[in-house]
Structure 1
């Protein structure tokens, strides 16, 4: 079979099999995408403009919102185009650029969530040393480290898959250029590629951060139990509850997609689950932190009222 080159590219099928639901799907995704931008921009603006939110926790939360906006932007505009056209072509270079930024932002979110868990561990378990341990230098180093590690991880993924030979069947049964989808299209051996991707990608980017989060929250739970007053326990738990919900949303879907044998791959189920963490989760993250955090709600109300007064 002929192999694709830099000019032939691929064809994203997305949800072209759901002909009768295209109008509902398109309008729903457009609303979700608009809400993702609106909620996250409002959250970022509130954090920047409110002095009371200039703390490490909200610094990382602001970075998470930036990642969520970019994460959804990598896939949603192309998906909307696919729905309108019933499938759309994407160049070889465009496909791997999309995959590079998708893996980069997904890995960054995973690492950032583990950093946020460590921040909560220091705040709850070491409150007297928290300010000295989590200073501006440490925050910036952690943030830069997340971006550097996720960039290198994404570059390796992209390079490995770009070196494979792809067959004449260029139909990608997904709404973006995902790692598992492209592996299925290769007509060369993918054993080495799968080994490198699922070990280098899964272990340092998904499994280790997830274990660090578990360890952090076990220690947090022990510290909360030892707190004598119920009001203090409630306050300590409330500072972590939003982050726990976001972790469950993100890792629950990511582990289902990537921590499993490639033989279990199902394009139909994977498209649905992928929508959860690429489209739904970036919107819900902002709402979870906004609605469950009193400081953020007050800052947002103040920002909105100032906007109305200026208009």
Structure 2
């Protein structure tokens, strides 16, 4: 046993970097994929920055709902920064090696910001619940101090989840080979490179913790909307019901997109699947979901859309400010 352990430690010390296979299976598409992902990435950054700038400059948007939206934009920017620039660089390079520490950092930041995103979506659901079901107590329950506490807990929770996952994975022994069949340090292909008796235990433990956290957030959001729908149905006029529900439309759409893509990735049936298929599916939550989020909030939130027009086009077309 001691000989086996020392051999594993020796092999572990030789794994100082991993190779990201990425999109190497599509050599003729790499330039097109680079341009497509670059445009989507820039649009994601621009969309989130526009949302943040609009909320910052428009005093009418200085409310808890838009504070949470700004924080969501920050977490989304940081999440994409942790993933996409490296992917874009690899699309133009033949050397796709990533250092052991860099791989651990990528996993930590991707999980931290990813879970922060889920926690913030849950907090936003709670905000809509309080606003619709307890409007008279809204200013008390969603005070500046209370909002700051909710945001702080979301970031702290995301960081803890990132640390738990990263420390659990990188305490394993990696004996080789060192090729990760993905475009970033993704857990399933990374775990296939680990060896030792505790790999299966760690994999199941990490999976259980992640699923419980995400499922818990999703159930809390569902519970919030169950109360919201019940309250909306009590409103006598159809116009009142539509106006009230419109304040939730953008958040609910983002939740459906976020958890819809996550379920496709993590809850797909076990079975034979091509490595290329896994790589392409990874695009949905790495590139597509962050790309769609600012579009949904900008187009489906009337108040934010009007504020954007006023903030960025009002100076160019001052005569239109009256009609907005």
TM-score by length of 2: 0.90
Q: Give, in angstroms, the shift of residue 273 of structure 1.
A: 2.5
Quick one: which of 180, 184, 200 aligns to 1:176?
184
Q: Which moved more, 1:250-259 or 1:177-186?
A: 250-259
Question: What do the CA deviations read for 1:106-126 (whole angstroms, capped 9, x no partner)?
Answer: 111111111111111111111
User: Residue 64 of structure 1 contacts residue 112 of structure 1 at CA under 8 Å; is this kept in 2?
Assistant: yes
Gaps of 5+ in 2: 1-7, 318-324
Query: 2:171 matched to 1:163?
Result: yes
Q: Give, in angstroms, the shift of residue 240 of structure 1.
A: 0.8
User: Residue 56 of structure 1 contacts residue 139 of structure 1 at CA under 8 Å; is this kept in 2?
Assistant: yes
Give the aligned length: 309
Q: Give, in angstroms, the shift of residue 153 of structure 1.
A: 1.2
- Match for residue 268 of structure 1? 276
- Match for residue 200 of structure 2? 191
What pairs up with 1:67-216 in 2 under 5 angstroms?
67-86=75-94, 88-189=96-197, 190-203=199-212, 205-216=213-224
Q: Which moved more, 1:171-180 or 1:261-270?
A: 261-270
Query: 2:41 matched to 1:39?
Result: no
3-state DSSP of counterpart to 2:192: helix
TM-score by length of 1: 0.93
Q: Give, in angstroms, the shift of residue 150 of structure 1.
A: 1.3
3-state DSSP of counterpart to 1:90: strand
**Closer, same or farther in 2 for the Cα pair 1:184/1:16, shift >3 Å?**
same
RMSD in angstroms over aligned alpha carbons?
2.1
User: Residue 249 of structure 2 contacts residue 301 of structure 2 at CA under 8 Å; is this kept in 1?
Assistant: no
Q: Which moved more, 1:254-263 or 1:121-130?
A: 254-263
Quick one: which of 255, 259, 268 aligns to 1:247?
255
Question: What do the CA deviations read for 1:246-285 (whole angstroms, capped 9, x no partner)?
Answer: 0111111223333468767753333222211221111211
User: Residue 8 of structure 1 contacts residue 91 of structure 1 at CA under 8 Å; is this kept in 2?
Assistant: yes
